[in-house]
Chains A and B, each alone.
Chain A
Amino acid sequence: MIAVTAAEEGLMVCHTCGLLSAPSATDHHPVCPRCGAGLHMRKPDSINRAWAYLIAAAILFIPANVLPVMVTGAIFGTQSDTIMSGVVYLWTSGSWPLAAIIFIASIMVPGSKLLALFFLLVSAQRRSTWKPLERTKLYRVVELVGRWSMVDIYVAAILTALVQFQALATIKAGPGAIAFGAVVVLTMFAAECFDPRLIWDPLLRRADG
Chain B
Amino acid sequence: MKPLLKTTVAALMLTIAASAGAFAATPKDTLVMAYVIDDIISLDPAEIYAFSDSEYQANTYDHLLVLDLKNPSQLLNKAAESWSVSQDGKTFTFKIRSGIKFQSGNDLTAEDAAFSLQRYVILDKSPAFILDQFGLSKDNAKEKIRAKDASTLEIELDKAYAPSFFLNCLTYTSSIVDKKLVMSHEQNGDLGNGWLKTNYAGSGPFFLKEWKPNESLSLVTNQHYWGGVPKIKRVLIKNVTESATQQLLLQKGDVDIIRNMTGDQLTTLQKDSNVKIVSAAKATLWYLALNTKNQYLAKPEVRQALKYLIDYDGLTNTLFKGVGKPHQTILPDGQLGASDALPYTLNVDKAKDLLKQAGVPDGFSITMDTTNKTQTMELAQAIQSTWAKAGIKLEIKPADNKETLTKYRARQHDIYVGQWGSDYQDPHSNAEGFATNKDNSDNAKTKPLAWRNSWDIPDLTTEVYAARDEMDSTKRAAMYQDIQQKVLDNGPYIVMFQQIETAAVGKNVDGFILGPTFDLNFYHDVVKH
A and B, one complex? Answer: no
